[in-house]
Structure 1
């Protein structure tokens, strides 16, 4: 090979190095189940944009924001805006939303009753014990005409805000992740979709009733405020909100999870 050709080969080899060097590892948190499964579908698309996604699973709703704020991860994808707003108010996190993702309409499930109207007066209902999802459960029951809540409570009503209880329901507040496990002990439970599917429940077939999917509870991708304008964030969002991921969600979850794009 001539020196001229050797020089050209060396230049081509050097030219290839920046593309490899640009590959960036992004640690992104999700709860087990649909959120993590969707990110697995995002992963190969993100790789083409130079992102190596490392999916970190947390089994509760509190740790992912704490881990993000402390720098243990670069992003998370597990929560809706009202929940993040509540966390920022309570804990002072400097975390920002960069994209909407999917919606998991929360539902009411029961092993003892086959229809929502069959849940009797005086029934015991389990609801999440965190302010946002507990409030979401109460708003769902109000929407179905079974409760009346104080005016102006927003997205975070508590059982203390109930002004009318048509069927005299008794409420048990539990950790959201534990809700499927108490179905044998209560008349019904309000369960977040990711925990329902993780427990083998089918939100479309098994839920007695579900919330309006066009409400404020579309899930989001969140990052630290200092990172929100960085190129990798744009690449992550573009990788998630693609036709390929939309098709995956529709085929995998069959209406239990709804895309926002």
Structure 2
């Protein structure tokens, strides 16, 4: 009888402990791998985020790409889980053109577009017929042309995505040279000037002394705020949200200021409507 009693007592104790063990196991976050697609060779900010989010149970793996057509294809094909390279305007245009459902899950930076030259030192020195390289993808070409208009070099039709055919005034008879965005820094050796995206300017170590004009930061900048993106079906993934939270910190702000000295502006808590 005593042996049977002991067996029953052990069995009863096991049944009581098992649910508590399972509950504790379910409540504990054992970690998760997240692959993020990024552009460019400078990963210092993302490596810092990688270390912070690791404490939250996320193994953040950085997957680097070399041109703007790759990260969204990789996202759609589930080769990466999220990406961080594009702005709202680029994402909207991509979704329309490729019938995808990619959404923003967090803001990162605003990187002003800049007109550089190694041949002249000011806008007024651009000669008649000067050649200016701009990125050839729809969004960045439009943004580059708007930059030239802001600089007073051309005038454009009132359209959201202007192309060279929408130039209505070109007093200097500038020759617009569309190139792959990654090639625009190299074009400075041949062209009189080039409109270069921030990530490619940083990768190419372009000097601030070669700047002719920089994109202003105001309400018109909002479509060009860079974002972390995911497929719509994954927009509420808790691990992806942890990555966003780990990025949007004072530590990231401090590092951006230290590394880029105002070239990459933290955008998640700035009022651009001023």
TM-score normalised by length of structure 1: 0.89
Report deviation, 1:20: 7.4
Report deviation, 1:212: 1.1
Report deviation, 1:25: 0.4
- 1:187 and 2:203 equivalent? no
- 1:211 and 2:215 equivalent? yes
Check whether the contact 1:33–1:195 (CA below 8 A) recurs between aligned residues: no
Structure 1 residues 20-99: aligned runs within 5 Å: 22-34=30-42, 36-99=43-106
Check whether the contact 1:104–1:213 (CA below 8 A) recurs between aligned residues: no
- 1:104 and 2:104 equivalent? no
Q: Which runs of 5+ in 2 are unaligned?
A: 1-20, 270-274
Cα distance in 1 between the residues matched to 2:38 and 2:28: 27
Q: Which runs of 5+ in 1 are unaligned?
A: 1-12
Cα distance in 2 between the residues matched to 1:236 and 1:19: 20
Which of these residues, 153, 163, 166, is aligned with residue 161 of structure 1? 166
TM-score normalised by length of structure 2: 0.85
Which of these residues, 193, 196, 205, is aligned with residue 201 of structure 2? 196
Cα distance in 1 between the residues matched to 2:168 and 2:126: 20
Q: Which runs of 4+ in 1 moved over 4 A?
A: 13-21
- Please identify the structure whose Cα radius of gyration is greater: 2
Report deviation, 1:18: 6.2
Query: 1:183 is paired with a residue of what secondary structure?
Result: helix
Cα distance in 2 between the residues matched to 1:59 and 1:211: 24
Query: 1:146 is paired with a residue of what secondary structure?
Result: coil
Check whether the contact 1:106–1:191 (CA below 8 A) recurs between aligned residues: yes
Which of these residues, 250, 254, 259, is aligned with residue 252 of structure 1? 259
| CA RMSD of superposed structures (Å) | 2.0
- 1:171 and 2:201 equivalent? no
Cα distance in 1 between the residues matched to 2:97 and 2:258: 38
Cα distance in 1 between the residues matched to 2:25 and 2:171: 68
